[in-house]
Structure 1
């Protein structure tokens, strides 16, 4: 290679964005969790690129960081990092933080700010994130007002507001099984937003989530009578509905119907059927469907493997489940929280504690950060089986990763440690949560207070009371 080519290659390499390492994300998440608001002084020193934003927001969400910190972080990136700017997924993640805290006003203010500065970040996905939470916690008229406000925000950005955004509103109602309200919205607004295939599939999803198979079938046949052509998504929704009701063989007939109508099954279709075979405790059929994916030209993804894992654990075939876990790692598919949670549930259900401890060690060796439900399951098993030491180890591991576990995990850990005389360590865990401005539960407070009083540690009892009063004075109502 001559000098010019070498220089060009070096230039190309340096222009490629360097993805942040897991260690960098862990370190910055811990700094943010420990730092008081505002975050700007910290971020000016340590936040060097918007490439950090997506993994950092995910880590903060898993660690139950304050929503205001996520908002502060996104605003900082929006104003200081333009090459590249924040991604649309970062906007969705920030809205996840805010809507989980039920801070809907700040959510819409953020959307309006983005509409003025970076309108390209607006899409149906962040709107769907916001509406899905709003519909869950706000009355019907407020949801419609929020949709109107979103339409004005899109107009401010000079963007079209059409069927995809309308589908996001319908899906928010349907995901809660509130079909009657979804149909009311459809009747009220369909003349402004002409429905497409996704609209009708979304309504069908609502019937599935409500669990009414008869209503689902009636609506489906009504769709056919109006000239609707079912696609792979339509069939997948119906298959899932039958599987969840234990009607696995009816679901298989739908697969045959798809083939006859030249509607090609997808990976999601086959994964749904594998899960359905697990529900009826038929792991042999689940494995056959899994192997059949290759014959259909489909490559099993992590979801397919997780569905097969579930089929094995339901029938206590934990040996096959662990072999499948090894296969996933050997093929580079990687394990996610669903993989670990599924197996932990299997070991717990059948009281295979040796396997439970080994899987926990394996997870820690892989440097994996579990999500809330897995942390809760681990903490419960540890404390119920006299292994509060492992609970404390998990707590410290999560804190070192920049995550503050959910306050219900703290309930279990404080109780487990105090009952074994480790009151000082329970007190330090309580303080770690309080120092991050997260509000521990009243239960954890009362348990710890009682044990401290028994030990005559009155200074700590008083300090504990001041901490709780200070946090509750500034905590959002949702806490």
Structure 2
């Protein structure tokens, strides 16, 4: 059984979680240049202010006006705050309000990146009406921000959450009402195809292709998008059939085409076939890229061939390419799959030495490696390092950590992880709250379970029906009726401004009298 003992050093770190100055101290202690440090501190402060602003009881605009005047904003700060809000699962309406606030800065030229991130946040939460409203506003005031990428973000989300017909209608609306200064051509057609292909909706993608290819002239990118869609569907037979059909029609593959086919074979464990494609690629003078070799390193890991993975990694420098975080992550993953966690940890140290940054994939893969190898000290050491470096893990990793702490009875670490996230301005995913509330309620720690749920609702995010029912049962039994009324008020208040979502709490039934 895996347990995580808390060392004296860890205790010192955990004590910092409640320290309001921890954020600034951690960033100041880094080796970043002063300008970058200032931006990071400001971004983190603004993210925290926005996430902690009680929604919808108080509008965000006055808070922003008081905390940071428009003249103090820069393009970099705005883009980084919106990126942070996306990563911390902030309420999309808050993000939209912040972006609109920045549009009022007279000296600030709004960037396409900031606009795209705002659309991403809104559409991820299915606020499609708000996204359309924002695009209409931008069309009038800053039409240059309406990029191919912003189109792709919205269409991909609509394809995921709405019907085939609604996606086509959205494309037509963009062509006729939003992107009116652009004449739609092959590039826009490719965006529509990609929206279906990335959602593995190949039947719909083929239907769109057959319906519109006579109007838009398909190019190599079009065919690669369709090939990618078959690959994402994990249908290697369809990948090859489609590829050979294309070549018979005169289509000339490029390195992206080969990368897609190589990845399809690697994911299926057909590493030998992937290597043969790699050799064919070179014979055709279609030179492999860093992505090609990174994909093959992953493929070597899938078949547990760590020596080949290392050989391919060394091939990067021999080809005068520079190994990046993705290449290192691929080799780390291969070592972890082969249960060689020590070599994987050594690679993390090498990344530090070569100034190659660790990202969430690096941490997540290493955490999994330590768990599988039952290396308690290694896991705990990595967790401490992550906290010391003030690194903010993504949702997938947060869920993994919270689940582990709760299952292994490390409730102190689970609570402190929650506090660490909240203090950094992070608005945890509902599944993280479910895990924590369940663990706290089962141990009679109702005050903490209530506070965590209240924090989530106050930040403008739903809690799940599962979490609310757990709290309702425990608070009724524990005479916590006032707390239950507080949660009920917050849930129903939030329901007046947020669209209903399946699986989320709606509060107490109207006919229920809480005594």
TM (norm. structure 1) is 0.92
- In the alignment, structure 1 residue 367 sits paired with structure 2 residue 393: no
The answer for unaligned runs of 5 or more in structure 1 is: 1-16
Q: Any conservation in 2 of the 1:111–1:153 contact (CA below 8 Å)?
A: no
Q: Which residue of 1 aligns with 2:91?
A: 66
Q: Any conservation in 1 of the 2:146–2:179 contact (CA below 8 Å)?
A: no
Q: Which residue of 1 aligns with 2:59?
A: 38
Q: Deviation at 1:20?
A: 4.9
Which of 81, 95, 114 lines up with 1:56 in the alignment? 81
- In the alignment, structure 1 residue 88 sits paired with structure 2 residue 109: no
Q: Which residue of 1 aligns with 2:12?
A: none
Q: Which residue of 2 aligns with 1:3?
A: none
Whole-Å separation in 2 of the counterparts to 1:463 and 1:116: 42
Deviations 1:233-280 (A, max 9, x none): 000000001111110010000110011011110011111111111111
Q: Show the 5 A alignment for 1:165-180.
A: 165-180=188-203
Which of 226, 251, 254 lines up with 1:203 in the alignment? 226
Q: Any conservation in 1 of the 2:341–2:373 contact (CA below 8 Å)?
A: no
Q: Any conservation in 2 of the 1:19–1:51 contact (CA below 8 Å)?
A: no
- In the alignment, structure 1 residue 26 sits paired with structure 2 residue 38: no
**Does the C-alpha gap of structure 1 residues 288 and 153 become closer, same or farther in structure 2, counting only changes over 3 Å?**
farther
Whole-Å separation in 2 of the counterparts to 1:421 and 1:121: 52
Q: Deviation at 1:206?
A: 1.1
Q: Deviation at 1:347?
A: 2.0
Whole-Å separation in 2 of the counterparts to 1:339 and 1:185: 38
Q: Any conservation in 2 of the 1:98–1:107 contact (CA below 8 Å)?
A: yes
Q: Which residue of 1 aligns with 2:237?
A: 214
Q: Which residue of 2 aligns with 1:433?
A: 456
Q: Which residue of 2 aligns with 1:103?
A: 127
Q: Deviation at 1:82?
A: 4.2
**Does the C-alpha gap of structure 1 residues 415 and 368 become closer, same or farther in structure 2, counting only changes over 3 Å?**
same
Q: Deviation at 1:192?
A: 2.2
Q: Which residue of 1 aligns with 2:101?
A: 76
- In the alignment, structure 1 residue 445 sits paired with structure 2 residue 468: yes
Q: Deviation at 1:220?
A: 0.6
The answer for unaligned runs of 5 or more in structure 2 is: 1-34, 505-515
Q: Secondary structure at the match of 1:325?
A: helix
Q: Any conservation in 2 of the 1:135–1:173 contact (CA below 8 Å)?
A: yes
Q: Show the 5 A alignment for 1:149-168.
A: 149-156=173-180, 158-168=181-191
Deviations 1:335-394 (A, max 9, x none): 111111111122223333332221111100011011111110010000001111111111
Whole-Å separation in 1 of the counterparts to 2:142 and 2:498: 31
Corresponding pairs, count: 462
* CA-based RMSD: 1.8
Deviations 1:78-98 (A, max 9, x none): 232543x22211111111111
Q: Secondary structure at the match of 2:114?
A: helix
Q: Deviation at 1:323?
A: 0.6
* Greater RCO, 1 or 2 (C-alpha within 8 Å, sep 6+): 2
**Does the C-alpha gap of structure 1 residues 472 and 161 become closer, same or farther in structure 2, counting only changes over 3 Å?**
same
- In the alignment, structure 1 residue 307 sits paired with structure 2 residue 330: yes
Whole-Å separation in 1 of the counterparts to 2:59 and 2:219: 45
**Does the C-alpha gap of structure 1 residues 421 and 155 become closer, same or farther in structure 2, counting only changes over 3 Å?**
closer
**Does the C-alpha gap of structure 1 residues 387 and 155 become closer, same or farther in structure 2, counting only changes over 3 Å?**
closer
- In the alignment, structure 1 residue 116 sits paired with structure 2 residue 137: no
TM (norm. structure 2) is 0.86
Q: Which residue of 1 aligns with 2:149?
A: 125
Q: Deviation at 1:119?
A: 1.8
**Does the C-alpha gap of structure 1 residues 155 and 377 become closer, same or farther in structure 2, counting only changes over 3 Å?**
closer
